[in-house]
Amino acid sequence: MPRVTYISAKGDVREIDVPVGTTVMSAALKNGVDGIVAECGGVCMCSTCHVFVDEKFFDRLPPANDTEEAVLEIAAVERQATSRLSCQIKVTDTLDGLIVRLPEKQR
Amino acid sequence: MGAGAVIVGTGQAGFQTAASLRAEGYAEPITLIGGEPQIPYQRPPLSKGFALGQQDFESIELRPEKFYQDHRINLIAGKRVTQIDRATRHVKLESGEELRYEKLVLAVGSRNRKLTVKGAELDGIVYLRSLEEAVVIRDRLKNANAVVVIGGGFIGLELAAVARTMGKAVTVVEALPRLMSRAVAPMISEFFRELHTSKGITVICGATIVAIEGPDGNVRSIALSDGSRWPADLIIAGVGVLPNVELAQGAGLPVANGIAIDEFLQTDDENIFAIGDCAEFPCAFAGTRIRLESVQNAADQAQHVAATIAGRRSAYKALPWFWTDQFNVKLQMAGISNGHDRTVMRGNAEFGKFSLFYFKGERLVGIDSLNRPLDHMMGRKLMSAHVPLTPGQAADESFDLKHLAHTVGAAHH
């Protein structure tokens, strides 16, 4: 099972084995990773599952669509070059080892 | 340690209050209690992916059960609160048990308005609010042939789209002259009427139900005020909700179109708050007292009341926003467009990519967007921060909303 590492703004590290097809957002909620709120439930209406994707993995992700790009513009912590919504990242085998960093706030 | 916070209602508002209290560093006991037997779950998917059978309960629960233990939230699911004793600060449960509170949050939601027409008691008439009702709808849809949806609002139209996607013959009956008329401008109503019609749904506006017929006790047909009669073996009624005010009323708290609260989301009793679907609050964006039924309203008010209880008291001023998914179309709404006196279009209606900007005088009060997500998100940012946008700027596609929104600085939403 691909492993995803979540690093909180304070530097706490959580490594979670995520079934292929599960989103980085829902794996975080299921495993009690604080720092992902997911207020809208994963439909690209809020920005509360914002993550910074490690540069090594960023290019392996399918690009964000227009809706996700728009939502990133309202993130509570300003977006950076590798910002994504974790509800839009589905885990695949090629993403094994994925590292995401969480912003200090989501609202 | 004191009696802590008791939150009544395990919907989105109740859940978020409990979660946010802990996130705010509140160290007192938290009890989250409600009549629904399940752990808190999301309602929006019930009329969308869940009804279609694409999502199961696990995918719609707000957090796994362990979350409540991990955050020391005493979740009591399946027990109804029937009474508040303000003098002694207790709530009484149906079971006779009592719970002491220091702060009480009423997140008790709303319930469906029921049909009162002749035949409303027949088998085969369903409503949607709870998971249990969603399961009934999902199961009954499998075997239904002819579905009539009563009410051309968000829930009705989302379920009509689900039923049609499943291959059913679908008729939508709306009493008012157009769809979603309380929320959107005629142009948006017309867009959705065409969408539903193009998918094979019969949309009838301006007609009311005269009777539901079923000689054998099961729904067989429906007779309308225009004289027409439609076969039906399943009727889905989405005709609005009523706020659950009785608990507050019984405790002598003022109620209007909802439990009456002030800008601090507080009732007349300084230890009792009300939030979400059940609460009527003064909305700066509407310029009046309103009651909203939405995830945004539930979550933002919950977060706000949690901050207040945790000691950071301020006036509530979040911008309302909302969405609906019908077939493959997502309509995004920001602000409160009621009371507007003009609309301005941005984008291209012909290709189904446009936003309507609603103005009251020169003030932007709402935006409805179809396939224009950046308009919606930037609109939220601009309206939240009260950055003025003129009708001319809204209509001018070369005017950069993102640039203007960035002058706002840190995101407000």
| B292 and B226 together in one domain | no
- Where does a domain end: B264, B282, B309? B309
**Per-residue model confidence (pLDDT) at position B412:** 46
CA–CA min distance A20, chain B (Å): 15
Distance from chain centroid for Cα B9: 15
- The stretch A54-72 carries a mean pLDDT of 97
Share of chain B above pLDDT 90, in %: 97
- pLDDT(B292) > 80: yes
CATH of the domain at B230: 3.50.50.60
**Per-residue model confidence (pLDDT) at position B411:** 46
CATH of the domain at B346: 3.30.390.30
Residues from chain B that touch A40, judged by Cβ atoms under 8 A, are 44, 295, 323
Residues from chain A that touch B378, judged by Cβ atoms under 8 A, are 70, 73
| B174 and B218 together in one domain | yes
Distance from chain centroid for Cα A71: 13
Looking from the CA of B214 toward its CB, the CA atoms found within 13 Å total 18
- Interchain CB contact of B173 with A (< 8 Å): no
Question: What are the tens digits of pLDDT across the range A76-102?
Answer: 999 999 999 999 999 999 999 999 999
Residues from chain A that touch B67, judged by Cβ atoms under 8 A, are 32
**Per-residue model confidence (pLDDT) at position B309:** 98
Asked if residues B204 and B171 have their Cβ atoms less than 8 Å apart, the reply is: yes
| B211 and B257 together in one domain | no
Has residue B100 been placed in a domain?
yes
CATH numbers and ranges of domains, chain A: 3-101 (3.10.20.30)
Which of A29, A39, A73 lies nearest to residue B299, judging by beta carbons? A39
Site from B21, B41, B62, B413 to mutate, A interface, most A CB atoms within 10 angstroms = B413
Could you give the CA distance from residue B272 to residue B82 in angstroms, rounded to a whole number?
15
- Where does a domain end: B212, B237, B262? B237
Write down the H helix ranges in B177-324: 186-198, 246-250, 295-309
- The stretch B2-8 carries a mean pLDDT of 96
Question: What are the tens digits of pLDDT across the range B28-80?
Answer: 999 999 999 999 999 999 999 999 999 999 999 999 999 999 999 999 999 99
Question: What are the tens digits of pLDDT across the range B133-164?
Answer: 999 999 999 999 999 999 999 999 999 999 99
Q: Is B411–A74 a contact, with Cβ atoms under 8 angstroms apart?
A: yes
Share of chain A above pLDDT 90, in %: 98
Residues from chain A that touch B44, judged by Cβ atoms under 8 A, are 40-41, 43
Looking from the CA of B389 toward its CB, the CA atoms found within 13 Å total 33
Share of chain B above pLDDT 70, in %: 99
Element (H, E) at B159: helix B154-165
**Per-residue model confidence (pLDDT) at position B34:** 98
Structural domains counted in chain B: 3
- The stretch B305-324 carries a mean pLDDT of 97
- Where does a domain end: B237, B258, B284? B237
Take residue B333 and report the two structure tokens written for it: 């709404």
To the nearest 10 degrees (0 to 180), the angle between helices B186-198 and B154-165 is 20
The chain-wide mean pLDDT, for chain B, equals 96
Which of A41, A47, A70 lies nearest to residue B45, judging by beta carbons? A41
Residues from chain A that touch B63, judged by Cβ atoms under 8 A, are 29
Question: What are the tens digits of pLDDT across the range B7-18?
Answer: 999 999 999 999
Q: Angle at Cα B230 formed by Cα B227 and Cα B232, nearest 5°?
A: 145
Question: What are the tens digits of pLDDT across the range B187-231?
Answer: 999 999 999 999 999 999 999 999 999 999 999 999 999 999 999
| B11 and B101 together in one domain | yes
Give B99-130 as a 3 state SS string.
Answer: EECCEEEECCCEEECCCCCECCCCECEECCCC
Q: In what order do the strands lie in the sheet with B90-93?
A: B81-85, B90-93, B98-100
Residues from chain B that touch A35, judged by Cβ atoms under 8 A, are none
Strands of chain A (E only): list them: 3-7, 13-17, 50-53, 83-85, 98-101
**Per-residue model confidence (pLDDT) at position B409:** 60
Question: What are the tens digits of pLDDT across the range A11-44?
Answer: 999 999 999 999 999 999 999 998 999 999 999 9
- The stretch A46-68 carries a mean pLDDT of 97
CA–CA min distance B146, chain A (Å): 30
Phi, psi (deg, nearest 5) at residue A50: -60, 135
| Structural domain for B372, as ranges | 328-406
- pLDDT(B2) > 90: no
Has residue B412 been placed in a domain?
no
Reported ipTM exceeds the 0.85 cut: yes
Asked if residues A19 and A1 have their Cβ atoms less than 8 Å apart, the reply is: yes
pLDDT band of residue B413 (cuts 50, 70, 90) is very low
| B135 and B232 together in one domain | yes
Which of B64, B295, B378 lies nearest to residue A39, judging by beta carbons? B295
| B193 and B280 together in one domain | no
pLDDT band of residue B351 (cuts 50, 70, 90) is confident
